Amino acid sequence: MSKGQAFQEGQMGLRLMYKYTCLTCHSINKKTIGPSFEDIAKRYYGSPPQYKQRLERSIINGGTGEWVGISMRNCVGNKKITPQQATIMTEWILSNKK
């Protein structure tokens, strides 16, 4: 992927976060209701592909129980998100690795 292409995908990932109101519960670098995207990236960056697939699934269907101690709430996800969008969003989340 060229640098320009990576940038465009990055913009798209963030746009989708706004579009699906993920930022009401997640911030990039601070724990709010959910874990920050930096913390999620730190935890999963470089993980085997099945973890990426799990993140994509929780972006669509929501998830719970992975961040015990950080939050008692669930991730709601959004069922309108397509698998392709979930992939872009997952890549964007992981790109927040410091």
Binding mask 3-42 for ligand HEC (x = CB under 6 A): -----------------x-x-xxx------xxx----x--
Binding mask 49-78 for ligand HEC (x = CB under 6 A): -----xx--xx---xxxxx---x-xxxxxx
- Partnered with residue 75 across adjacent β-strands are 63
Q: How many CA atoms are closer than 13 Å to the CA of 82, on its beta-carbon side?
A: 3
Residue 3 or 46: the one with the smaller Cβ distance to ligand HEC is 46
Residue 59 or 91: the one with the smaller Cβ distance to ligand HEC is 59
